[in-house]
Amino acid sequence: MAHVYTCDVRVRTHVLLDPKHYDYLVGESLRTGLSRSELVRRALEETFRPEARRRVGGFDLGFGIWRAPDAAIAGRRVGPR
């Protein structure tokens, strides 16, 4: 009989923390009753949600003149080359 997952499949990862960050995480875990993993997941959700990022109106304009631009700058040009 094959095993069937009854919940979301998770990916295991390792994160190296400074001792002060680890102490803070342990303290928050004790204070809230949430696991350290759940606190990290919530922090990631809150920090890296592209749909919730604020958009600012305006323009992004760049201008430069080079006699011989390096490959990184030439590779970013928009339009025909």
- Give exposure, 13-38, as e/b (b: 16+ Cβ within 10 Å): eeeeeeeeeeeebeeeeeeeeeeeee
Quote the DSSP letter at residue 71: H
Gap between the Cα atoms of 28 and 40, Å rounded: 11
The stretch 5-9 carries a mean pLDDT of 68
pLDDT band at residue 30, thresholds of 50, 70 and 90?
A: very high
81 has pLDDT over 70: no
Q: What is the pLDDT of residue 29?
A: 94
